[in-house]
């Protein structure tokens, strides 16, 4: 029951943050980052299983391994950037958070160009 551990870490962190904000608000962000990192570490084990499943599906199909690798990287970038955006928003830095979001979108679009071009080639082959 990983979810119970995740919820427990989150609730304890929230209680500590609420108490710290009264006396030492500058330390609250550190607790937020630490709790987020702990939660990420807890779910890292699950990622191995997901990647193994994706690789087994790729072995059974004719999907190019480069595309699978790109999709895994894009997903990782999206998760990490969401984590960074949340930390920035929690610390009151909405402007930086929006820049991270914009940069992430540009990176994801640039990384997905090979997949998009391959799909377009397949569509053009199908059409007369």
pLDDT tens track for 79-101 = 899 989 988 888 888 999 999 99
pLDDT tens track for 5-25 = 989 999 999 999 889 888 888
- CA–CA separation, 62 and 54 (whole Å): 13
CA dist 99 → 17, 38, 74, 92, 108 (Å): 26, 25, 18, 14, 14
**Residue 101 CB partners (closer than 8 Å, separation 6+):** 81, 85
pLDDT of amino acid 48: 81
Is pLDDT of 104 > 80? Answer: yes
pLDDT of amino acid 27: 87
pLDDT of amino acid 49: 82
Is pLDDT of 74 > 90? Answer: yes
């Amino acid at each position: 029951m990983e979810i119970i551990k995740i919820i427990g870490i989150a609730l304890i962190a929230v209680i500590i943050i609420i108490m710290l904000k009264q006396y030492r608000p500058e330390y609250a962000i550190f607790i937020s980052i630490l709790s987020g990192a702990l939660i990420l570490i807890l779910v890292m084990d699950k990622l191995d299983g997901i990647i193994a499943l994706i690789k087994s599906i790729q072995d059974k199909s004719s999907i190019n391994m480069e595309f699978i690798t790109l999709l895994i990287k894009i997903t990782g970038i999206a998760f990490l950037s969401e984590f960074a955006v949340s930390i920035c928003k929690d610390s009151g830095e909405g402007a930086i958070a929006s820049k991270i979001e914009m940069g992430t979108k540009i990176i994801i679009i640039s990384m997905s160009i090979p997949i998009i071009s391959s799909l377009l080639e397949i569509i053009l082959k199908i059409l007369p």
